[in-house]
A = this chain, B = another copy of it.
């Protein structure tokens, strides 16, 4: 099944799909060469948005949950990719410690962990779930739907190693985004592989750094296949150091929003797009309480300013850096519900994906967050099997291949980001 796109099937997205299919060998070669220079992230999920006339990777998660949404037919790919990933990092690996979130927001999260455990076990590792939550002070069994269960062990820290009782891992995999900062228990583990690295923590990542890397990646990719990078990269800019106590800063933000709306409308006109432009305003810091806000008119910044005041108060009155981003409509629909594709990667390989299908009541401009109420709809086919020769927009495998390419662009941007923010980078050069 190809989810329906609300917009006409003759727009720039189909040209993009066609160009991507036609360039498949060059694209794959380009990625191969990139992986010679840049280390792929260990595992990643990427939220993609398809506006019908443009595509964008809107979120790159370095601590992906939701692995339980992969179907049984996707598992062998994930296992094979996990084998490749392990072999590269530590061929001698026996034991893997997975560190889950401290607070599990939902039973689905435990199923996600169980799926990760199974993938790495089938790839040939002994897997232990080691919780760093202060609430887990003894071995704790969690029952899962379907009769399976998951055991959380409290971690045990020695001077230089982290493990669990009778379990000494060579690799530690974080499924905990460290939103509240890096706990000391994870520091100075120089004898073990810790993945992702600590500078991937949500408490230190900046959205602007990722966007800058994504922009760079997409510019080079656009040049490779001869398309306008705007078709995959929404316009964005930062509005630094905004202080809600200064009237001048409100005006500065208003001017920035107005400038961006003007640029977006100009692009829309250029491409004959009839949609209404909008801007999304986010905090540059992942750990800010300021949540993403949609703005359609620069005159209408009241709600933004109110939320910002609350966020600034929560951050000890520290002014905030904001990211303004061209809003990307979600025009893909399953029946009448908004469907947002999510692509899963293990190492350099796209291993599967699914649609987050939202209730039809939600507007197309809803900014997805992890708590959004959604139903997963697994991609019906692999992202590895494009069918050249089929009319653009009409083939699920071709659309999934395109999503896989965008997912890989975002993951590559994440790899650039990790390099650019690596505190130990000077030692490598």
Contacts and interface: CB of A to CB of B under 8 A. Distances in A.
Interface of A: 24-29, 31-33, 35-36, 72-73, 75-77, 79-81, 83-84, 86-87, 91-94, 121-126, 349, 382-386
Tell me the dominant secondary structure on chain A's binding face: helix
A27 B33 CA distance: 32
Given A32-B87, A91-B33, A75 B384 contact: yes
In order of increasing CB-CB distance, the 9 nearest A-B pairs are: A28-B124, A76-B382, A76-B384, A32-B91, A79-B384, A25-B124, A25-B126, A32-B87, A36-B91
B386 A122 contact: yes
Contacts of A349: 80, 83
5 contacts: A32-B87, A33-B91, A33-B92, A75-B382, A122-B384
A345 to B, nearest CB: 12
B385 A86 contact: no
Contacts of A94: 25-26, 29
Contacts of A87: 32, 35
Contacts of A26: 94
A326 to B, nearest CB: 31
A84 B86 contact: no
A25 B75 CA distance: 17
Contacts of A73: 73
A98 B125 CA distance: 37
A97 to B, nearest CB: 14
B77 A77 contact: yes
Given A33-B91, A33-B92, A73-B73, A384 B28 contact: no
B382 A86 contact: no
Contacts of A31: 124
A385 B121 contact: no
Contact of A76 (B83, B121, B385): B385
Given A25-B125, A122-B384, 9 more contacts: A25-B121, A25-B124, A28-B123, A29-B93, A29-B124, A32-B83, A35-B87, A76-B383, A80-B81
A31 B91 CA distance: 9
Nearest to A33: B91
B86 A32 contact: yes
A168 to B, nearest CB: 14
Contacts of A385: 72, 75-76, 79, 122
A121 B29 contact: no
A32 B124 contact: yes
Contacts of A77: 76-77, 80
Of A26, A79, A81, chain B has the most CB atoms within 10 Å of the CB of A79
Nearest to A74: B76
Nearest to A31: B124
A77 B76 CA distance: 7
